[in-house]
């Protein structure tokens, strides 16, 4: 089995975990702080010792400029900090000469989705990012969240979204947004009436609208859907994972690594 680590996500989870243990506020992080490196190493090592794996990859972020062009407020609500925990952890990966993968112009989510889609066989993804749950519609994909220390299953899906199928996560977020990425809720106060149509659909907007046509839905909900069609289309492009990104694969010691953002930001979702 191959293991694919959402690098930024795990780096930030272990960073904030280390701050909690050290009783340090994020804004007070010393410039030379390194405790999170050992936490990152320890938690990853402990997990990898639990089962057999054949390949270990780390997926990196790239700036998805097309999303900012579509919606300039994308991810604008995230609190940023001067200290960037990823820089020191990247040095650890260099020392391991780890396998890296990136999709230029796309987020790590898209790189992970494309990697899983383009490589046959079982893939275990280490991430707490609920956006990636969409990939669980693929039988050979497994997701483990180090945020709550569990494998993601249908019980998590029901608790988080009240959905029946992982196929419908992107449609859910298209309609009701994603606060962690500042994707807006474009049809507020409609979930009670529209969720049955979401669950009955195959996950596409086209099929959702077909379900709406034949469902007993209040006129106000239909009007909201119609008046917000442009916003719904934009949301769909913001939340849907790309499965066909061109991937760059390399060893951590080869060439130049991607530039790390100058500011840290909370990644756990």
Number of domains observed in the structure of the chain: 2
Mark whether 138 and 254 lie in a shared domain. Answer: yes
Mark whether 12 and 41 lie in a shared domain. Answer: yes
CA distances from 263 to 21, 79, 198 (A): 22, 10, 37
Mark whether 215 and 245 lie in a shared domain. Answer: no
* Stated pTM of the model: 0.92
Contacts of 20 (CB under 8 A, 6+ apart): none
Mark whether 89 and 166 lie in a shared domain. Answer: no
pLDDT value for 146: 87
Note down the domain range covering 192.
158-239
Mark whether 226 and 254 lie in a shared domain. Answer: no
Structure confidence by residue, pLDDT tens digits, 28-87: 999 999 999 999 999 999 999 988 899 999 999 999 999 999 999 999 988 888 899 999
CA–CA separation, 24 and 78 (whole Å)? 20
**Domain CATH for 168:** 1.10.150
Neighbour-count burial of 87, counting CB atoms closer than 10 A to its CB (0-12 exposed, 13-18 middle, 19+ buried): middle
- DSSP for residue 241: P
Mark whether 92 and 114 lie in a shared domain. Answer: yes
Mark whether 34 and 145 lie in a shared domain. Answer: yes
**Domain CATH for 68:** 3.40.50.1010
Of 50, 4, 1, nearest in space to 249 by CA: 4
CA–CA separation, 178 and 165 (whole Å)? 18
- E-strand stretches of 12-89: 55-59, 80-81
* Residue pair 206/237 in contact by the 8 Å Cβ criterion: no
* Residue pair 231/184 in contact by the 8 Å Cβ criterion: yes
Mark whether 34 and 141 lie in a shared domain. Answer: yes
Mark whether 174 and 209 lie in a shared domain. Answer: yes
Collect the ranges in the chain with pLDDT lower than 70. Answer: 255-269
């Amino acid at each position: 089995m191959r293991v694919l680590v959402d690098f930024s996500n795990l780096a930030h989870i272990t960073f904030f975990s280390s701050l909690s243990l050290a009783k340090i506020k994020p804004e007070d992080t010393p410039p030379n702080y390194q405790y999170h490196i050992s936490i990152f190493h320890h938690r990853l090592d402990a997990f990898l010792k639990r089962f057999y794996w054949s390949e270990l990859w780390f997926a990196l972020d790239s700036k998805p400029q097309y999303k900012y062009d579509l919606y300039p407020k994308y991810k604008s609500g995230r609190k940023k900090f001067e200290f960037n925990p990823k820089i020191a952890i990247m040095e650890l990966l260099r020392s391991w000469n780890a396998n890296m993968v990136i999709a230029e112009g796309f987020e790590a989510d898209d790189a992970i989705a494309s990697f899983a889609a383009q490589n046959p066989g079982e893939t275990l993804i280490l991430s707490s990012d609920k956006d990636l749950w969409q990939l669980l519609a693929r039988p050979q994909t497994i997701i483990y969240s180090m945020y709550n220390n569990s494998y993601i299953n249908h019980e998590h899906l029901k608790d988080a979204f009240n959905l029946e199928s992982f196929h419908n996560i992107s449609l859910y977020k298209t309609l009701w947004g994603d606060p962690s990425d500042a994707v807006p809720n474009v049809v507020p106060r409609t979930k009670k009436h529209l969720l049955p149509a979401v669950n009955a659909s195959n996950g596409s907007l086209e099929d959702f609208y077909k379900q709406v046509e034949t469902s007993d839905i209040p006129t106000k909900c239909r009007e909201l859907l119609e008046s917000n069609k442009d916003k719904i289309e934009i949301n769909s492009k913001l939340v849907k994972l790309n499965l066909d990104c061109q991937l760059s694969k390399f060893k951590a010691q080869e060439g130049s690594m991607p530039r790390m953002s100058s500011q840290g930001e909370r990644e756990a979702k």
